[in-house]
Structure 1
Amino acid sequence: MFIIVGLGNPGLKYEGTRHNVGFDVIDKIAEEYHIAVDTRKHRALIGRGVIDGFRVILAKPQTFMNLSGESIRELVDYYKVDEETDLIVIYDDISLDVGQLRIRKKGSAGGHNGIKSIISHLGHDAFLRIKIGVGEKPRGYDLADYVLGHFEGEDKEKMEEAYEKAVQAVRMALHGDVCEAMNQFNRKG
């Protein structure tokens, strides 16, 4: 079994924001594989399903971004998965261009509070992550205002393509093709 988590903030006012791209990818996966993500459990909205023969739990933590690790710790413990091989975390990254993907098997939080929380609750940084670029904060902007802002124009289109690529990357990871996914998606442009 795999746990696929998209990070974000619960509530209508956060829908479609840069900080909620993880939720958006989970919604895309759920739609494509007909998985209802509507059960409240482990401080998350979850859905159980099958992707290419692999049993999966799709999860959108409802703890707010900065406490994501609390929900993920509960999920990992309850389903008894090896977080180094069976956990995939999808989230936004301001150090990447809009729509660019970067897949990593481990690493630091890079200033992302949701990832800091996960690393703190798991006690290590060795879990698969799919980062989706939301673009660098413009000079003079407050970081919180920027990541809680919405995509517009061309950026919206780039993000739709990025969500499709993220779904492909998840499928590749389920099949054990993480290195191939990294080679395919970690390129710029």
Structure 2
Amino acid sequence: MIKLIVGLGNPGRQYEKTRHNAGFLFLERLVSGLGGAWLEDARFQGLLAEVYIGGRKVLLLKPQTYMNKSGEAVGKIARYYKLDPQEILVVHDELDFDEGVVRIKKGGGHAGHNGLRDIIAHLGSKEFLRLRVGIGRPTVGVPVANYVLSRPAAEEMARIEGSFDKIESVIEKIIAADVTQVANLLHG
């Protein structure tokens, strides 16, 4: 069962609604829809919310350490609540998928994603669940860093938000950690 959902992103107004903040954007939508509220918790270097999904209490975390240091916040909260990596879901942007595509994955490497790299280092494990939210690839000549830190056009953002609809439609199954069933529903 998933007890913690981590959304990856960068804090600060200049990063709001950028592609790299897909994890933050999803959690903000989830908290709003479930009537939760964000509280700053210095112990975990992040913003925390507590919500109920399918009758189960779930913690939500938006690390405020910047993307490349996301593992610091995740490691602290995992140790404090004595969470196994298998009880953690990380929602992050994925360059390898077009906008609107979302995939669930258990374990694996970081594929060059510095937020995932840091989480793996701080948890000492790759065995957490990931929701990979497609943000598309930059056109030739556009540096990846510039692309992920830019705001998508309205139609691209609409497709990204469409992936959030897909996630919300199966969120109870995700919390139950029914990866096979979720994969069949999301990937089909």
TM bin (shorter chain): over 0.9
Does the CA-based 8 Å contact 2:103-2:131 persist in structure 1?
yes
Provide, for residues 114-164 of structure 1, a one-character-per-residue CA deviation record: whole Å limited to 9, x for no partner: 000011111121100000000012110011110001111321211111112
Corresponding residue number in structure 2 for 1:153 = 154
Matches within 5 A, 1:158-173: 158-173=159-174
Letter in 1 for 2:55: G
Partner-residue secondary structure (3-state), 1:23: helix
TM-score, normalised with respect to structure 1: 0.94
Question: What code does the residue aligned with 1:4 have?
Answer: I
| Rounded Cα–Cα distance in structure 2 between residues aligned with 1:175 and 1:126 | 16
* TM-score normalised by the chain length of structure 2: 0.94
Which residue does the alignment assign to 1:67?
69
Measured in 1, the distance between the counterparts of 2:111 and 2:95 equals 10
The RMSD of aligned alpha carbons is: 1.2
Q: Residue 137 in 1 paired to residue 138 in 2?
A: yes
Query: Counterpart in 1 of 2:30?
Result: 29
Unaligned runs of 5+ in 1: none
Partner of 2:175: 174
Q: Distance in 1 between matches of 2:156 and 2:48?
A: 28
Q: Tell me if structure 1 keeps the 8 A contact 2:107–2:128.
A: yes
For structure 2, the residue ranges without an aligned partner over 5 or more in a row are none
% identity of equivalent residues: 37
**Contact between 1:2 and 1:56, CA under 8 Å: does it hold in 2?**
yes
